[in-house]
A and B are shown apart, each in its own frame.
Chain A
Amino acid sequence: MKKVIEASDAVAEAVKLCRVEVCPMYPITPSTHIPERISEFVANGEMNAQIIDVESEHSAASAFIGVVASGSRAFTATSSQGLALMYEILPIISGMRLPGVMAVANRALSAPINIWNDHSDAVSARDQGWIQLYAESSQESLDSIIQGYKISENKNVFMPLMVCFDGFSLTHVFEPVDIPEQKKVDSFLPKFKPLHWLDVKKPMSFGPIGFPDSFMHFKRQQQEAMENSINVIKKANSAFKKSFGRSYGSGLLDLYRMQDAEYAVVAMGTACGTARVAIDVLRKKGKKVGLARVRSLRPFPEKELQSAIKGIRAVAVIDRHISLGQEGPLFTDVRNAIYCNDIPINSYIAGLGGRDITVKHFEKVFTDLEKGKQKGEWLF
Chain B
Amino acid sequence: MALLEIRLHGRGGQGAVTSSQVLAIAAFKDGKYSQAFPNFGVERTGAPVESYVRIDEKPVTLRQHVYDPDCIIVLDSSLIDAVDVTKGLQKNGMVIVNTDKSANDLKKLKGFKVYTINITKIALDVIGKPFVNIAALGAFCALSRQVSLKALDRAIDELFASRGKAAIAELNKKAAKAVYEAAK
Residue of B28, B37, B64 near A357 (CB, 8 A) is B64
A174 close to chain B: CB less than 8 A: yes
Q: Which residues of A contact B36 (CB under 8 A)?
A: 4, 173-175
B74 close to chain A: CB less than 8 A: no
Q: Which residues of B contact A276 (CB under 8 A)?
A: 61
Q: Say yes or no: A274 contacts B35, CB within 8 Å.
A: no
Question: In the docked arrangement, what's the CA distance between A316 and B170, Å?
Answer: 53
Given A4-B28, A4-B34, A175 and B60 contact (CB-CB distance below 8 Å):
yes
Question: In the docked arrangement, what's the CA distance between A169 and B28, Å?
Answer: 20
Within 249-279 of A, Cβ neighbours of B (below 8 Å) are at 270-271, 273-274, 276-277
Q: Which residues of B contact A116 (CB under 8 A)?
A: 40
Given A4-B24, A4-B25, A4-B28, A172 and B37 contact (CB-CB distance below 8 Å):
yes
Q: Which residues of B contact A358 (CB under 8 A)?
A: 64-65, 67
Question: In the docked arrangement, what's the CA distance between A3 and B26, Å?
Answer: 11
Q: Which residues of A contact B42 (CB under 8 A)?
A: 115
Q: Which residues of B contact A344 (CB under 8 A)?
A: none
B48 close to chain A: CB less than 8 A: no
Q: Mark A156-172, 1 if CB is under 8 A from B, else 0.
A: 00000000000011001
Given A174-B21, A176-B28, A274 and B40 contact (CB-CB distance below 8 Å):
no
Q: Say yes or no: A274 contacts B62, CB within 8 Å.
A: yes
Residue of B35, B40, B61, B64 near A174 (CB, 8 A) is B35
Residue of B34, B37, B64 near A359 (CB, 8 A) is B64
Question: In the docked arrangement, what's the CA distance between A274 and B63, Å?
Answer: 5
Within 149-194 of A, Cβ neighbours of B (below 8 Å) are at 168-169, 172-176
A354 close to chain B: CB less than 8 A: yes
B93 close to chain A: CB less than 8 A: no
Q: Say yes or no: A354 contacts B64, CB within 8 Å.
A: no
Residue of A115, A273, A356 near B65 (CB, 8 A) is A356
B33 close to chain A: CB less than 8 A: yes
Q: Using a Cβ–Cβ cut-off of 8 Å, how many residues does chain B contribute to the interface with A?
A: 22
Question: In the docked arrangement, what's the CA distance between A271 and B63, Å?
Answer: 7
Question: In the docked arrangement, what's the CA distance between A363 and B99, Å?
Answer: 41
Q: Which residues of A contact B40 (CB under 8 A)?
A: 115-116, 168, 172, 354
Q: Say yes or no: A175 contacts B35, CB within 8 Å.
A: yes
Instruction: Kindly name the residue among B25, B35, B61 whose own CB sees the greatest number of chain A CB atoms within 10 A.
Output: B61
Within 39-68 of B, Cβ neighbours of A (below 8 Å) are at 40, 42, 59-65, 67
Q: Which residues of B contact A273 (CB under 8 A)?
A: 61-63
Q: Which residues of B contact A176 (CB under 8 A)?
A: 28, 33-34, 59
| CB-based closest 7 A-B pairs | A273-B61, A174-B36, A168-B40, A270-B63, A358-B64, A173-B37, A4-B25
Tell me the B residues contacting A by CB distance below 8 Å: 20-21, 24-25, 28, 33-38, 40, 42, 59-65, 67, 158
12 extra interface residue pairs, beta carbon distance < 8 Å, beyond A168-B40, A176-B59: A4-B24, A169-B37, A172-B37, A172-B40, A174-B24, A174-B36, A175-B24, A175-B60, A176-B34, A273-B62, A276-B61, A356-B64
